[in-house]
Amino acid sequence: MINLERIGVHLPQGYLFNDISLQINRGDKIGLVGKNGAGKSTMLKLIAGTNAPSEGKIHMPKDCEVGFLTQDIRINTEQTVFDYLNKSNSELTRLKSRIDAINEELVQRQDYESESYLGLLDELSELNDEFTIREGFLWEEKITSTLKGLGFQDEELHRSLSTFSGGWKMRAELAKILVNAPDVILLDEPTNHLDIISISWLENYLKTFSGAVIVISHDRLFLDNVTKRTLEISKGKVLDFAYAYSKYKELRAEELERLAGAKKQQDKEIKHTEELINKFRAKKNKAAFAQSLIKKLEKTERIEVDSDEVVGMKISFPLSVQPGKWVLEMENMGKSFGDKLLFKNVNLTVGRGEKIALLGANGMGKSTLLKRIMGTLDGDGDVVYGHNVNITYFAQDQAESLDTNKTVFETVDETAKGEIRKSLRSVLGAFLFRGEDVDKKVAVLSGGERTRLALCQLLLSPSNFLILDEPTNHLDIQSKEVLKSALQNYEGTFIVVSHDREFLHDLTNRIWDIEDQSLKIHHFGVKDFLKRKMDLINPKPVEQKKPQKVEAVSENKLSYEEEKELKRRKNKLQNQMNRSEERINELEALIAEQDEVIANLNYDNKEEAEKVLGKYHELKEELDQQMTLWEEATEGLMEMDS
């Protein structure tokens, strides 16, 4: 479908990449990866046609439509969110406008037999057919479902887009691309401003999309779930792997190991050749031989190995002091902004060593809850810290508090304590500050670089309670792995907000979910949490069981034995329904009691914690079983009475 023929991009400092030839086919799902600055965004701009290559050509069919989501979206419009999408398809807008105009004209005219009137009817029929083929009659429904899938609420669809933040404008732009279903979708970090539920929805959408998708993302799970091919830009070349990210990473590691061995051998041979040249170039009878060696050396294609400096790096958060049995208590805590209530009546005790993921859709109050815990926002109720609690807080705007007059190295050097000071440059390297970068002033860093530096500084700050609000933003996959490993080994307590499912997997032992203006606690993993959420958004169609055919006969045609059997079956179903109702009430009361127990559970006593959580899961499973029995009994009675 799209062919890149010997593409090159030349910058003042040299080639970004050169002599790239690629083919992108319809239906390809491609992950575009590479180190920061390798040229990933530039490659998407070339394919989108917004930038031109310095060399080579890009061949694309004339009717090929490309949808391109960039990181630097600029939307200046007073249109509502819905209208922004509704008027985005010029062909559907043209068809609808003409159909409306013809219908209005037909109502006013009375020359039903005239040639021009009949001509209008023919045109209307053709327009309606084309409108149907383009799914015009489903257009508004498609817009609404897409916007809701990306997190917009009903009441927000008719708000002016100018009143939304940049992240929500990005969602609207993404929705516009999706509803128009172009032949190729190019996505540059699409998950940056999406919450964890919207990311899952987008994944499901892209899996079934029939066109080609090329995506740049630092979300490993998103790449694994969406893509089936990986292109890596490395040292000015593009490497093509017919696998999703994780499989590509395994194969790439093996390839790098082989290359390292080949490079070692080549370096040895080059060194030997250079020694021979130096030995013979001054001797007249060997000068020709030396020249032939020089030419051979010049023609040798040097093997380059793209090193992976942070692989295997282990960093640990330093623990300040051991706190008491509980570290945080919230009593009737709540927060409102004017008439907008975010949450209320939050009553929780956080035990020492708990690892908590705070989840929920954007705008539900996750950051606000953290600020209430930190005491930087007023609100209802009380927040009390436990004995010896030492909190380190990473806010989404943490980068703004950095001293712009200090260098990158000075910023972490003044924070680090103990043995970690010996590895400061390695720690900075894990967060993409390498070589001369460590001597840069904070003032010249980009927003993303400042965020990474602020997180690195937090990593080195002694504490026993971490509160992290979207710490994975602006981190590449490898840096996130370093941070995750540090958190997994952290001996203190933490609450983390993140939309990165791979990062959260096997990291936490409790989920806080802000929903319906309250804080709900779950004791299962992130994958189970998301599955339940997605089932609510997109419930699976229930397989309709064919009801048993009951002969419509009058009572006087039923024999005594048949009447007796019918009554027996009804009584059995009625008794089952009554028993299940009674047990459901008992189980719901027991589960409510267990919620109180779990809220104050001491996770230091692993055996006791597992026993309590095991009992809780048994009660939940029995409740599900009783609900199924009750539904079956109820349906059976309804069928017999129908």
Residue-wise DSSP of 219-264 = -HHHHHHH-SEEEEEETTEEEEESS-HHHHHHHHHHHHHHHHHHHH
Q: What angle do CA 202, 206, 211 make, to 5 degrees?
A: 150
Residue type, 518: S
Residues above pLDDT 90, as percent of the chain: 30
Instruction: Please report where in the chains the tokens 């940056």 appear, as a residue.
Output: 192
Task: Give the mean pLDDT of 495-503.
Answer: 90
Single pTM value for the model:
0.69
Decide if pLDDT at 556 tops 50: no
Which helix (H) or strand (E) is 16 found in, with range?
strand 14-24
> How would you classify the pairing of strands 29-33 and 184-188?
unpaired
The pLDDT score that the predictor gives to residue 292 is 83
d(CA 469, CA 459): 14
Burial state string for 478-508 with b = 16 or more CB within 10 A and e = fewer than 16 = bbbbbbbbbbeebebbbbbbbbbbbbbeebb
The pLDDT score that the predictor gives to residue 384 is 93
Q: Give the model confidence (pLDDT) of 91-140 as tens digits.
A: 999 999 999 999 998 888 888 888 888 898 999 999 999 999 888 889 99
Q: Taking a C-beta distance cutoff of 8 angstroms, is the pair 22, 34 a contact?
A: no
Contacts of 53 (CB under 8 A, 6+ apart): 7, 8, 9, 46
The pLDDT score that the predictor gives to residue 382 is 92
Residues above pLDDT 70, as percent of the chain: 91
Instruction: Please report where in the chains the tokens 């989108």 appear, as a residue.
Output: 48
63: left (phi over 0), alpha (psi -120 to 50) or beta: alpha
Span of 355-359, 463-467, 596-600 with lowest mean pLDDT: 596-600
- Considering only residues 226 and 617, tell me which one the structure prediction assigns the higher pLDDT: 226
The pLDDT score that the predictor gives to residue 263 is 81
Its sign, for the CA torsion 415, 420, 423, 428, is negative
Decide if pLDDT at 544 tops 60: no
Decide if pLDDT at 601 tops 70: no
Contacts of 13 (CB under 8 A, 6+ apart): none
Task: Give the mean pLDDT of 357-383.
Answer: 88
The pLDDT score that the predictor gives to residue 146 is 94
Burial state string for 47-69 with b = 16 or more CB within 10 A and e = fewer than 16 = bbeeeebeebebebeeeeebbbb
How high is the mean pLDDT of the chain? Answer: 84
The pLDDT score that the predictor gives to residue 561 is 67
Task: Give the mean pLDDT of 541-566.
Answer: 51
Decide if pLDDT at 311 tops 50: no
The pLDDT score that the predictor gives to residue 234 is 86
- DSSP-derived 3-state class of residue 382: strand
The pLDDT score that the predictor gives to residue 66 is 94
Which two structure tokens, joined as six digits, stand for 74? 């600029």
d(CA 297, CA 294): 5
Residue type, 69: L
The pLDDT score that the predictor gives to residue 307 is 59
Which residues are paired to 232 by β-bridges? Answer: 33, 239
Which helix (H) or strand (E) is 148 found in, with range?
helix 139-149
Burial class (CB in 10 A: 0-12, 13-18, 19+), 329: middle
Task: Give the mean pLDDT of 146-163.
Answer: 91
Decide if pLDDT at 538 tops 70: no
CB count, 10 Å around CB of 570? Answer: 14
Torsion of CA 430, 435, 440, 445, to 10 degrees: -50
The pLDDT score that the predictor gives to residue 543 is 45
